[in-house]
Structure formats: C-alpha cells, structure tokens
Amino acid sequence: MSEGDAQGRLVRPFALTGGRTRPSRADFTLITTVTAVDPPPERAPRGQPEHARILRLCARPVAVAELAALLDLPVSVVVILLSDLLEAGRITARAPHPVSRTVADLDLLKKVREGLGRL
Amino acid sequence: MAGSETAAGAAPDVVKILVAGGFGVGKTTLVGSVSEIAPLRTEEPLTLAGLDVDDLAGIEEKRSTTVALDFGRITVGDDLVLYLFGTPGQQRFWFMWNDLAIGALGAVVLLDVRRPQSSFAAIDFFERRGIPFVVAANGFHGEHPYPPEEIREALALPDEVRVLLCDARERTSSRDVLIALVDQLIAAAAE
Ligand SMILES: Nc1nc2c(ncn2[C@@H]2O[C@H](COP(=O)(O)OP(=O)(O)OP(=O)(O)O)[C@@H](O)[C@H]2O)c(=O)[nH]1
Ligand SMILES: [Mg+2]
C-alpha cells in the first residue's frame, strides 16, 4: 500500500464528518441496533451520500458494528453519522440489553441457552 | 433519550460475548465457525487520550494505529441476537477491552496449550474485573495433550471457571464452548 493511501484513509473519515471528531450523542455502542424510520419524517434534511447509504442498510434493524463493517468505515465515524440521523429523526436506536454483574438476568440467560441449544 | 425506546420496529434485544486469548489462538476461527454471517471486521483508530503512560509503552512512536475487531452474529431467538467479538490478539492493546467488556454477558478465553502464557493477560483481565469466563483449549491439529483438570491446575483457576477442550474450526465444538459459558452463568445466577 502506498503512503498516499494511508493518508487518504486518515483524511477521508475526518472530511466525512465535517471536521467533528467526537460523536454528538453517546447513544451508540457496538451492539446498539439502529433502524431507519419509515416513512421518513417530513422535511427531513438532505444528508450526505453516506447518510443515504446508512439509511438503506438499516431499512431492517442492524447493529452499529455491522454497519461499520458493511460501510468499511471506523465505528467512531459511523457513530457520528448515526448521531446526525438520530437528531434528524431518520433512525431509531435500541440500546443493548443491560447487563448487571450483581443481579443476573436468569430469564435472559435461559433464552440464550435455549437458542444455542438449537444450533 | 428520544429514539432509544420508541418505534424501534422489529429491533431485537441484543447481547454479546467476548472471545479473547493470545495472538493466533483461534479467536477469529471460533467466531467464524459458529456465526451465522461470515465474520465481519471493523477497524477502530485507537484514541490514545486518557490512557496511562504505561498503557502507551511500545506504541508511543506511532502517530496512529488501529485496532481490528472481528465479530459474528447468532440469532438465538425471535427477538434476541447474540454478538461474538474477537478481541485484538496483540497484548499491547489490552486496554481496548475495557470498552468492549462493558455490557458483555461473559467471555471465552481461548488457550493454545503449546504456549499458554499468551492467554494469561486475558485471564488476568477478566479475573480482575469480575467478568465471568470459561477457558477453552483449542487443540491444534485436533490434539489435546492435557486434560481439562490439568489445565485448570496449571492456570490456578477457581472451581467455578469451566475448562474445556475444543476445536475452534468445528461449529458444534464452538457452540459447546458458548453453551458451557452460559451454563456457568446460569449456575452462578441460581446460587
Ligand atoms: N490446525 C488448526 N488450526 C487452527 C485451529 N484454530 C485456528 N487455526 C489456524 O490458526 C491460525 C490462527 O487462527 P485465528 O483464528 O486467526 O487466530 P486469532 O486468535 O483470531 O488470531 P489473532 O486475531 O491474530 O490474534 C489460522 O491460520 C487458523 O486457520 C485449530 O483448531 N486447528
Ligand atoms: Mg483474529
């Protein structure tokens, strides 16, 4: 790989997110599930092409990590784009199942166990 | 926050399990053999801010570096999805696991018995943070020179940590490793 490539990779995500390097919302983890709002809200602002790509990819629920892999972009960049879409009301986000180290969720564990047993 | 509860449509409930262990022990292989999708990879630039000086030993000369995470997915119910995350094998990136470990049900530590030291950091990490884990010896070439009890003793693992032998290339074997972890979690919860 040439040096130009390496630099291009560094610069591109930065340009994509308009120079912001931090997500504006902390709502997204690797396994937060995002879903496009269908139909889109009226007067939804026109986004960048990457916004449109994300909306197509999350027509059905998809996890943030999967989106990043599909888009071939770092998670941190995808989170910023998702923050834009969330603020514009174009996606919904579902947080992962909360896991407590002190109170185990027996029902959840049994569900996971049954699912694995079926594999 | 608006958006986190409402109209998520058919969004499933999501949980995760980490697959850790030293360099080249078979983490990606295990994730791939049991995942319903080809393992995906995401690259994350490392943020060096907020880390102790010790954490940076060995990478300070690099201006930027990335960490690659492998992951797979298993639909375990109509509305429940399990993600598996293979942690970066390079030991110097262990601090990445802090973020990854948040919200994990537990972890699988893979072990290559020919060089068990390479998985010590992972075991220490989960032990120190009280994150439940099982240890699975991945038998390269299908060879298992040591029985689980010997491995447990050699690693000074407490009784509640399950130790098993596996072949990370085999779907059913990898599944059984995950089942052992969940059974261990259920046993602990039922106490
Ligand atoms: N013979 C044999 N080879 C295996 C087995 N498991 C993994 N391998 C091979 O060992 C190599 C390393 O496996 P990976 O799954 O990439 O290991 P990893 O832990 O993800 O490695 P890093 O992410 O680089 O730390 C690959 O070439 C695998 O094909 C096994 O059970 N038997
Ligand atoms: Mg790997």
Judging by beta carbons within 10 Å of its beta carbon (0-12, 13-18, 19+), is residue B169 exposed, middle or buried? middle
The answer to whether B45 contacts A106, with C-beta atoms less than 8 Å apart, is no
B42 pLDDT higher than 50: yes
Please, which pLDDT band fits residue B100 given cuts at 50, 70 and 90?
confident
Tell me if A71 sits within 8 A of A82, measured CB to CB: no
The partner residue sitting opposite A99, judged by closest CB among B42, B76, B103, is B103
Please judge whether B179 and A92 are an interchain contact, meaning their C-beta atoms are less than 8 angstroms apart. Answer: no
3-class secondary-structure state, position B134 = strand
Instruction: Assign B143 a pLDDT band (cuts: 50, 70, 90).
Output: confident
Residue B54 reports pLDDT greater than 70 = no
Where in the sequence is the domain holding A66, given as residue range(s)?
A: 3-118
Instruction: Say if residues A50 and A78 touch (Cβ distance below 8 Å).
Output: no
Q: Does residue B43 have a pLDDT over 50?
A: yes
Q: State the alpha helices, DSSP H only, in B39-162.
A: 96-101, 120-129, 148-155
pLDDT tens-digit profile of B109-123? Answer: 999 999 999 999 899
User: What does pLDDT average to over chain B?
Assistant: 84
Q: Which residue of A has its CA nearest to B1?
A: A27
- Interval B170-187: pLDDT, tens: 999 999 999 999 999 999
Give the residue with greater pLDDT, B160 vs B50.
Answer: B160
The fold of the B13-54+65-190 domain, in CATH, is Rossmann fold (3.40.50)
**pLDDT of B6:** 37
pLDDT of B76 reads 97
pLDDT digit string (tens) for A17-67?
Answer: 555 544 445 679 999 999 999 888 887 777 789 999 999 999 999 999 999
Q: How many structural domains are present in chain A? A: 1
The token pair at B7 is 């109209």
Please check the confidence at residue A3 and state whether its pLDDT lies above 50. Answer: no
Distance of CA B22 to the CA centre of its chain: 11
Candidate from A22-31, A48-57, A85-94, B125-134 with smallest mean pLDDT: A22-31
pLDDT at residue number B59: 44
B29 lines ligand 1 (CB under 6 A): yes
What is each CA distance from B80 to A26, B74, B177, B178, in whole angstroms? 23, 9, 19, 16
Q: What are the residue boundaries of the structural domains of chain B, listed by start?
A: 13-54+65-190
pLDDT band at B63 (very low <50, low <70, confident <90, very high): very low
Percentage of residues in chain A having pLDDT higher than 70: 78
Residue B103 token pair = 């919200």
Cβ-contact A110, A44 below 8 angstroms: no
Ligand 1 contacts CB of residue B141 (under 6 A): yes
Check residues B60 and A82 and name the one with the higher pLDDT.
A82
Is B171 close to A119, i.e. CB distance below 8 A?
Answer: yes
Cα separation, B97 vs B149, in Å, equals: 28
Question: How large is the C-alpha radius of gyration of chain A?
Answer: 17
> Rounded distance, CA B104 to CA A16, Å?
31
